[in-house]
Structure formats: structure tokens, C-alpha cells
Amino acid sequence: MKEKMKATKYILAGIVLPMMFAGCLDEYQKLNTDPEQLGTTDPRYVFTGATMNFTNQSRSHLTGKYGGVMIYMQYLVSASGPAAGSYVSPAKPNEHPQPYSPAYGDYYGTYGLRLDNLINTVIPKKDDAERYADVKAISQILLNYEQWRILDTYGAAPITEAFRAQSEGIRTPRYDLYQEGIDGTPMYKKIDTEVKAAVETLKASNENQHALGGNDFFYAGDVRKWIKFGNTLRVKMVPSSFILQPTMRSAWRRPTRRSTTASLAKFSPPPPTSWPATRSPASTITPTSTTTTPTTSRTSPAATWPLPRS
């Protein structure tokens, strides 16, 4: 009988003690939860942090461009000519120069990383994610802008598989070429497609969307201005696309004078073989009445070209 009692006590103790510890652990976790730490955050404030000091993080960040890419792009030219080593180093003639260009660090260390996190992590976790469609579209345009900058500067960079270390375990992303991504799609086409889709999203904006307002340092949440920015970015990318894809040059080519004349000829009467000595409209029109259409003389070349004004 005593052995049964002992066994019963042990069983009860095995059941009660874990429950007590579990209760204490819950209370312990509540007491040690940092009230200042947010479990969720408003995407609008994440957008502000992601775009703060956009393209100019510091004074050295700004002034460094004056001695780097701005010289190579001929934005600035020294009165005494380029300094030794700007284009070629006499001491190292076989090495190419390395101008200061912060686009790479900007994308992977700040703006690109933060915008990608906002688009693919922060907004999707919100219960009302559909109300942040405008914020997501604006962030996508800025992310595409940074992608275009880095590809236009370097020609190749890991874009498709970037920032996938935690979500997909990709720690060594493959490089995309501007003219061909890792999936075979030209990156300039992919970027243009994404910007176009973002612009269409903004065009469909409604009053149910969370407005950025003061969280937007660029346009204070004005969707119409972001639409213009997106369309302007697409136009800005066109010259690079022309270089990479010759067929696009023919598609976007400005009409020549010859082609314009040929097009207008379809809607104009043929010119005469010879001009009359006197090109008076009175000599080519025989008025009949004020209510009927004037008849033109078939014998006079001026009757068909140019047509007289009524």
C-alpha cells in the first residue's frame, strides 16, 4: 500500500511541477519583455529610414563624386586638365583607374538592402498589406532606380539573388549582366517592366491606401508626382537600352524627313509636273454659287497642287 502511495506522489509531482515551471516561465518572459521593442512596425516609417539621405550619406560621400565619376562623365573639368592618374597612371600603365563611385555600396549596404526588406518582409507581414500597395510601388520604383544605377555603372552585379541569405540561404549570389540576367531575361527589360507595373499600381490608387505624407522626403506622398518620376526613369533608361539592343534603336528611332514626307504623301494630292506662270487661285476655281462646292479645272496643274484656300 505504501509503495502505491509513493508511486502516486511521484506521478502527481511529475504532472504538477512542469505546470508550475511553465507558469513561472510565462511570467518571467512577460517581466523580461522590452516594452520599447516593437513586434511590428509601420511600413511608412521603414520607408523614411530606407530613403534618408538618399544618394548623399555624408559630406565625404558627396565630395568624393567630384574627384571620381563626375570627372569621367565630363561634368567637371579642371582648368589645368586632368590630374595624373585620373585616366591612366604613369606608374601603373597596365592597370585601369578606379574612380570613386558609391553606387555599389549604396545598393548593398543601405538603400537597396532596406528597400528590399520593406518590399519583401515588412509589408507582407502586415494584416492590411493591401493598404500599403502605394508604399510598396513607390519603394519598388526607388529600388529599380538603384538597380539601374549599379548596372549602368558596372555592367554586372548580383541583383536577382541579392539579399536572399536569410530567406533562401543564398550567400554567394550569381551576377546578372545588364544585357542578360541569370534567367536569360535582359535586366534592363526586367527593370523597365517592374517600374511600369509600379506606375500602373499608383495609377489605380484610392482613398483606402495609407498615404506616406511627411514620411516621404521626396514628394510628401504625392502619388501623381511619383507616377511622373517612374515614367521619367523609364525614359532615362532608354539610351542604355539602345546601346545593348540595336533592334530597339529602330523601334524608337526618330522619324526622318524622308519617312515623314512619305507618310504625308499618303494623305496629300500629288505635286504637279510643272508650275504655271501665274498661281492665282482665281484662275483655277470657277465659282458657281455660295451653296455648292467650287469645281476645279482639270487642265490646270495648279488645280490639284497646292489646293487653294477658300
The predicted-structure confidence for 207-243, as pLDDT tens digits, reads as follows: 999 999 999 999 999 999 999 999 999 999 888 766 6
More confident: 284 or 20: 20
Q: What is the pLDDT of residue 64?
A: 73
Q: b/e string for 31-69 if b means 16 or more Cβ within 10 A?
A: eeeeeeeeeeeebbebbeebbeeebebeeeeeebbeebb
In terms of residues, how long is the chain?
A: 310
Asked if the model's pLDDT at residue 308 lies above 70, the reply is no
Helices 133-154 and 43-51 cross at an angle (nearest 10°) of: 20
Q: Is there a contact between 101 and 122 (Cβ–Cβ < 8 Å)?
A: no
Average pLDDT for the chain: 75
What span, in angstroms and rounded, lies between the C-alpha atoms of 107 and 147?
A: 7
pLDDT tens digit string along 179-204?
Answer: 889 999 999 899 999 999 999 999 99
Q: Against a cut of 0.75, is the pTM above it?
A: no
pLDDT confidence of 280, banded at 50, 70, 90?
A: very low
CA torsion through residues 206, 194, 44, 56, sign: negative
pLDDT of 286 over the 50 cut = no
pLDDT at 42 over 50: yes
Q: Are 183 and 175 in contact (CB under 8 A)?
A: no
Per-residue pLDDT reduced to its tens digit, 122-136: 999 999 999 999 999
Residue 176's beta-bridge partner residues?
157
DSSP 172-210: SPPPEETTB-TTSS-HHHHHHHHHHHHHHHHHT--TTSP
Adjacent-strand bridge partners of 286: 295
Q: What is the pLDDT of residue 15?
A: 65
